[in-house]
Amino acid sequence: MKVAPVVVLAMVPTSLALAVAVGSVDLGPAQLGEALLGRGDEIAREIVWGVRAPRALAGFACGGLLALAGSLLQVLLRNPLADPGILGVSGGASAGALAAMLLGAAATGVNLAALAGAAVAAGAVFAFSLGRSGWNPYRVLLTGVALASGFGALVGLMLAVAPSSQVQGMLFWLLGDLSPSGDPTAALLVLATCGALAFSQSAALDVLILGEDKARSLGVSVTRVQWVAFACATLATVAAVLLGGAIGFVGLVVPHLLRLSGVHRHALLLPLAACLGGSLLALADTLARTVAAPAELPVGVLTAMIGVPALLALLARLR
Amino acid sequence: MLEAKGLSLSAGGRELVRALDLSLAPGQCWSLLGPNGSGKTSLIHALAGLRQPRSGAIALDGVPLASIGRKDIARRVAVLLQDEESDFWGSVLDYVLLGLYPKSGSAWSRDEESLAQARHWLAELELADRAAQAYRTLSGGERQRARVAQVLLQDSGVMLLDEPLQHLDLRHQAIVMGTLAACAAEGKTVLAALHEPGHAARHCGFAVLLYDAGRASLGRSSDMLTQANLEALYQCRLEAAGAWSFLPS
């Protein structure tokens, strides 16, 4: 209980520092220090501040957003298997992005198409499950799963008919890839906003774990809390997917890692999930671009390869 | 004072309660008896503002319940529900402390006084040595006692309890009933749905009997809990078992 927060908080600067220090160009400690202070070789400065730092922050923002969304959805849907993909939002974004790639769109076009796909999915979840009868976890879950498999089929179709020169790019998008991520500022802003908004509901979320009626009887405005949390989770997922594609596993595993380590109060769980998710993804992305350098692996593969053993080890330790 | 006037409830197209007038005053301990499906839970939910009655009015201290804010109700009415999600990850003490949410609006308030209060109720319900244990690892009966402790910590003037004795052994049935009766003696209003007329007769001065098909009768336990009434209520023959009817003293 006391260890986990310290470890997680220490991981944030460590992972970001590693992400900036390590790369296909070996800068060495002296040159790195100079560049960090904005002095010395112009190429080194460009590598540190123009390439690695934005990418490290993009990884951190993306992982933080996914873990935040996962933490919220697991409470809202009362399902330990809930992750950002379960709303169909990342499926919608994937289908949109692939369709744009198939039509030969540039990066901006792909991003816009992904945004449109995510909006269609979120709108459909809203229309089919939330709009009419208020919040019902089963309807949301079923709608999300149905949409996700629908989009999955579309994605499969597009992969099947795409010319082979495009398939690799598509697969990278589907597995999650931070190399074309660009400016992370918007995503960091979304992370800060959604994080703060969700954090403001943390005490109510603690009570909501006991069920809606009990939460109501303890004075929680259940519907309002659910709406706020759902909006935060959706927005966070969309921002993460636009930045890094459909990166899996962070949103599912990080909240469980924390709960299994004894962190369960949302006032602690939510910020720590954002920190841990962000750090893990920054680390995974550092690995993704270095293990097979100069080639890059899709970061989604790395998150699964780190996340799965970590979760299994914790589960084994706790019987 | 929690009052219902002309209260009618139905569920699944079935009429549960018809035009019930009920007035629960401070210092009174009420039992709520009736066969399965007679509407005990629905009545408690309605009195707690958790479900809309089909018709009729409910007022808390003279103010319509529907016009009182959720949080305000929670400060004045505590509810023990029959069922609850059980995937709470924290300790037993953490669990009980959630009962402070209506007062503090935060699950963080862990000042000395609240901690002492939480520990007091845990001790009262013989869970003191379980305080640091994970709530999920408790047995059914221990969980039930922790849930009762949470409701007691809420410290509201009105306490509505849906089967507070479920899963409890004889000793802890007596402890819970004794604690509820003591709360009433201190001026709180208590209403508990029970399945054991013996506990109702011993600890509660008043009783509501919910018959099938919406009929109800209420009054002093001494008038209500007669063999004839209970036979009509439960639709079965009863014997005055005398020496066979054991209740912890």
pLDDT of residue B241: 67
Q: What's the average model confidence in pLDDT over A183-211?
A: 94
Model confidence at A318: pLDDT above 80: no
Contact present, A176 and A299 (Cβ < 8 Å) = yes
Residue A73 domain boundaries: 3-317
Chain A residues whose beta carbon lies within 8 Å of the beta carbon of residue B48? 217
Mark A158-183 as b/e (b = at least 16 C-beta within 10 Å). Answer: beeebeeeeeebbebbbbbbbbebbe
- Locate the chain B residue with the closest alpha carbon to A79: B87
Smallest CA–CA distance from B105 into chain A, residue? A203
The pLDDT > 70 percentage for chain A reads: 97
- How many helices (H) and strands (E) would you count in chain B? 10, 10
pLDDT at B108: 58
Question: What integer pLDDT is reported at residue B105 of this predicted model?
Answer: 62
Q: Which residue has the tokens 């809202």?
A: A76
Contacts of B88 in chain A (CB under 8 A): 209-210, 264
Q: Is the pLDDT of residue A161 over 80?
A: yes
First to last CA, chain A: 18
How far, in Å, CA of A97 to CA of A113, rounded?
5
Who wins on pLDDT, A132 or A57? A57
**Distance between CA atoms of A22 and A28, rounded to whole angstroms?**
9
Report the half-sphere exposure of A144 (CA within 13 A, side-chain side).
Answer: 23
Q: How far is CA B156 from CA A200, B50, B76, in A?
A: 25, 16, 5
Q: How confident is the model at residue A83 (pLDDT cuts 50, 70, 90)?
A: confident
User: Which sign, positive or negative, has the C-alpha torsion B155, B158, B159, B160?
Assistant: negative
Contact A188, A181 (CB under 8 A): no
Tell me what the pLDDT averaged over chain A comes to. 88
Q: What is the pLDDT of residue A65?
A: 97
Please judge whether B89 and A259 are an interchain contact, meaning their C-beta atoms are less than 8 angstroms apart. yes
Q: Is the pLDDT of residue A34 over 90?
A: no
Number of C-alpha atoms within 13 angstroms, CB side, residue A149?
5
Q: What domains are there in chain B, each with its CATH number?
A: 2-89+155-240 (3.40.50.300)
pLDDT band at A168 (very low <50, low <70, confident <90, very high): confident
Q: Do A207 and B89 touch (CB under 8 A)?
A: no
Q: What is the pTM (predicted TM-score) of this model?
A: 0.90
Q: What is the pLDDT of residues B84-129, one digit of tens each?
A: 887 898 999 999 999 999 988 665 567 888 899 999 999 999 999 9
Peptide bond just before B197 cis, omega within 30 deg: no
pLDDT of B46 reads 96
CATH code of A56's domain: 1.10.3470.10
For A207-265, the pLDDT digits (tens) are: 999 999 999 999 999 989 998 998 999 999 999 988 888 888 899 999 999 998 889 99
Structural domain count of chain A: 1
Contacts of B218-224 spanning 24+ positions with Cβ under 8 A: B218/B22, B221/B31
Residues from A contacting B (CB-CB < 8 Å) are 78, 80, 202-204, 206-207, 209-211, 213-214, 216-221, 259, 264-265, 267
Predicted pLDDT at A165: 87
R_g of chain B computed on alpha carbons: 18
| pLDDT band at residue A138 using 50, 70 and 90 as cut-offs | confident
Rg from Cα positions in chain A? 20
Instruction: Report chain B (249 residues): mean pLDDT per 10 consecutive residues.
Output: 94 90 97 95 96 93 94 96 88 94 71 91 97 94 97 96 96 96 97 94 95 91 92 87 61
Chain A hits for B81, Cβ within 8 Å: 211, 213-214, 217
